[in-house]
Amino acid sequence: MTQGVAAAGPSAPSGGGRKRVVVLDYGSGNVHSAVKALAKAGAEVELTRDPRAVAEADGLLVPGVGAFDAVMRQLREVRGDELIDRRLAGGRPVLGICVGEQVMFERGVERGIETEGLGQWPGTVRKLEADVLPHMGWNTVEAPENSVLFRGIAEERFYFVHSYAATEWTIEGRGESTRPVVTWAEHGERFIAAVENGPLSATQFHPEKSGEAGIQLLRNWISTL
């Protein structure tokens, strides 16, 4: 089912009008807060799984809450895995959030269940080694100076809700211009908080729940579309 949401945020990105962003509607929860946050950040937003709309949008946001295996199952049921892969193959920007970030890795292991992910990045998502789980609440991040997502907000705090994460990064890139930008955070151990890798970006935290800093991160992403 397609739901269009057209709204202009107070700070629309520059460059000739609002950018069109599709939020992938595959059954994940919390999609409406993502839609509202993107609209506030200045995008023209549509919540849909329509293949043509997904392919033609300036940006695609992949939300995700719950278990890794459940999200992968829901994505495959609507052929979301194929839609994401086609966009990335064509250099079309995609942003994953929370479990929408986790499924970009090769696999996830939760409660003894190993599930194949989308395989855009090597690595395994696993349970964090921490005294208190879930990791729920505000936390700082360690963003590189060349990060676009965290431009102007590297010192801010962001809202996390998770018990699992990727804790290793192995892709280096061939040169400075193609090297992925990896942002880290810590809860019990260091884990990947965000990645910027060509057309594919993702955050383990929830920008849509992170106040003005989260809205600014979405503005930063929209400005690259």
Residue 212 is a catalytic residue = no
Residue 135 is a catalytic residue = no
Active-site residue, from 44, 46, 98, 187: 98
CA distances from 202 to 14, 36, 135, 149, 166 (A): 22, 18, 18, 10, 12
Cβ pair 160, 202 in contact under 8 A: no
- Rounded CA-CA distance 72/100 in Å is 9
- The residues with which 105 forms a beta bridge, in sequence order, are 121
- Rounded CA-CA distance 168/182 in Å is 10
Question: Helices 211-222 and 31-40: crossing angle, nearest 10°?
Answer: 70
Which two tokens mark 32? 């409406």
> What b/e string do you get for 135-168 counting C-beta neighbours within 10 Å, with b at 16 or more?
beeebebebeeebebbeebbebebbbebebbbbe
* Position 205, amino acid: F
- Rounded CA-CA distance 20/39 in Å is 10
Active-site residue, from 44, 46, 156, 208: 208
Residue 208 is a catalytic residue = yes
Q: Which residues are catalytic?
A: 98, 206, 208
